[in-house]
Amino acid sequence: MVSGIGPGQHLAERSVQILLDRQGVGQNLQDHPLLSISSYLSREARADGASRRNFAYLRYSSGMAEGWDSDMIMMAICRSSWHAVGRRIGTLSANLAYAFSRGAVRISSTGIDTGPEVAFNWLADKRDRDRMVDAFHRMARIYGTGDVSRFASFPFMSSYSARVRVLQQNTFRNTFLTNMGAALMESSKTVRRLMIENYIQDTPPLKTLLSDRDLLEAYICRNVGSTFHPVGTCRLGAEDDPLAVTAPDSRVIGTQNIFVADASLMPEITRTNTNIPAIMIGEKVADLIKETT
Ligand SMILES: Cc1cc2nc3c(=O)[nH]c(=O)nc-3n(C[C@H](O)[C@H](O)[C@H](O)COP(=O)(O)OP(=O)(O)OC[C@H]3O[C@@H](n4cnc5c(N)ncnc54)[C@H](O)[C@@H]3O)c2cc1C
């Protein structure tokens, strides 16, 4: 867009010279919206020796998205961060493997040098909200089963909040603070509960959320986050499709020699992680360019 290819009116509003008016540039933004319930893990359930976070991955069909099988993913994650508190917190996360909501990327109103405005619009579509509410209930039920509750206690809705982001930085201060926090957590069950309820969680208790659909939906919308899988803003399509940006050979429609070779080509997000598909797109487009030039 800052090079002059995009929705003409928007470019003009941002004082960018229009080279090619293509309405679809920046539209159709998709992701795998994510929601988590975390809990305190007892010592034997932790993965203290693991060099990185381990994920167990469950793919399932909600039965609530007509025509879509495997529309949901649930993950069990053995620790939440590098630090001492994060090593004691495990997480169940659910994400929409296929979401109906669409977002958009635009040039910032404060100018082209300040980065884009990104509006994901996660859960704007009711079908997405309903499936997240359902996923939340499923995760809560898992925490309630005997085998899990023996090892994972005090479950709470978690999010990548400002406080979590600050503690995520591997600094001396954070090491010190989280070592202190972890020592307190280990001191007694009561202290652990008080810490989780008063310091770690910033949402109402699970029981309250589960008994009030409107409250739950409001908190889900507030705490939904990204899996960092943004795709779709230069989607492929037929040459006469006014909202397509790229032709099936990945060339920008209306140009001779500009090609796109990344995850923004995807018309619809892949039903799982995007990194390998993005690499496949790169390889395929490289072959196509060799054939056509
Ligand atoms: C924190 C994080 C964790 C992730 N974890 C996973 C995971 O576990 N599994 C998985 O499958 N996927 C994961 N992803 C998603 C995955 O990384 C992306 O889907 C994938 O990298 C997309 O590839 P891409 O080529 O479309 O974009 P990118 O990999 O983002 O490549 C875009 C490139 O363009 C360059 N660039 C940008 N602007 C310009 C410019 N103006 N001029 C020149 N160059 C420019 C950038 O520097 C970058 O190198 C993760 C993403 C993030 C951010």
Q: What is the 137 CA–ligand 1 centroid distance (Å)?
A: 32
> 34-104+125-223: which CATH topology?
Cholesterol Oxidase; domain 2 (3.30.410)
Q: Which residues touch 220 (CB under 8 Å, ≥6 apart)? A: 35, 123, 129, 132, 133, 136
Per-residue pLDDT at 291: 86
Asked whether residue 160 carries a pLDDT value surpassing 90, the answer given is no
Asked whether residue 283 carries a pLDDT value surpassing 90, the answer given is yes
Per-residue pLDDT at 232: 98
Asked whether residue 52 carries a pLDDT value surpassing 80, the answer given is no
Q: What is the rounded CA–CA span in Å between residue 264 and residue 30?
A: 9
Per-residue pLDDT at 25: 98
Asked whether residue 106 carries a pLDDT value surpassing 80, the answer given is yes
Per-residue pLDDT at 26: 98
Q: What is the 231 CA–ligand 1 centroid distance (Å)?
A: 10
Q: What is the rounded CA–CA span in Å between residue 31 and residue 118?
A: 12
Nearest protein Cα to ligand 1, atom 18: 275
Mean pLDDT of the chain: 93
Q: What is the rounded CA–CA span in Å between residue 91 and residue 41?
A: 9
Pocket test for ligand 1, best of 53, 274, 283 (most atoms within 8 A of CB): 274
Nearest protein Cα to ligand 1, atom 10: 275
Asked whether residue 53 carries a pLDDT value surpassing 90, the answer given is no
Per-residue pLDDT at 51: 73
Q: Which residues touch 275 (CB under 8 Å, ≥6 apart)? A: none
Mean pLDDT along residues 147-165:
89
Nearest protein Cα to ligand 1, atom 24: 262
Q: How confident is the model at residue 50 (pLDDT cuts 50, 70, 90)?
A: confident
Q: What is the 196 CA–ligand 1 centroid distance (Å)?
A: 34
Residue 105 φ/ψ, nearest 5 degrees: -115, 135
Q: Domain residues of the chain, as ranges?
A: 1-30+230-293, 34-104+125-223
Nearest protein Cα to ligand 1, atom 20: 275
Asked whether residue 54 carries a pLDDT value surpassing 80, the answer given is no
Pocket test for ligand 1, best of 54, 262, 264 (most atoms within 8 A of CB): 262
Q: What is the 262 CA–ligand 1 centroid distance (Å)?
A: 8
Asked whether residue 124 carries a pLDDT value surpassing 80, the answer given is yes
The ligand 1 site (C-beta within 6 Å) comprises 228-229, 262-263, 273-276, 278
Nearest protein Cα to ligand 1, atom 16: 275
Q: What is the rounded CA–CA span in Å between residue 291 and residue 224?
A: 43
- What is the signed CA dihedral for 233, 237, 242, 243, rounded to 10 degrees? -20
Mean pLDDT along residues 223-242:
96
Model confidence pLDDT, tens digit, residues 133-155: 999 999 999 999 988 999 999 99
Mean pLDDT along residues 27-53:
90
Q: How confident is the model at residue 163 (pLDDT cuts 50, 70, 90)?
A: confident
Per-residue pLDDT at 147: 87
CATH class of 1-30+230-293: alpha beta
Model confidence pLDDT, tens digit, residues 170-193: 999 999 999 999 999 999 999 999
Name the least confident of 11-15, 80-84, 225-229, 269-273. Answer: 80-84
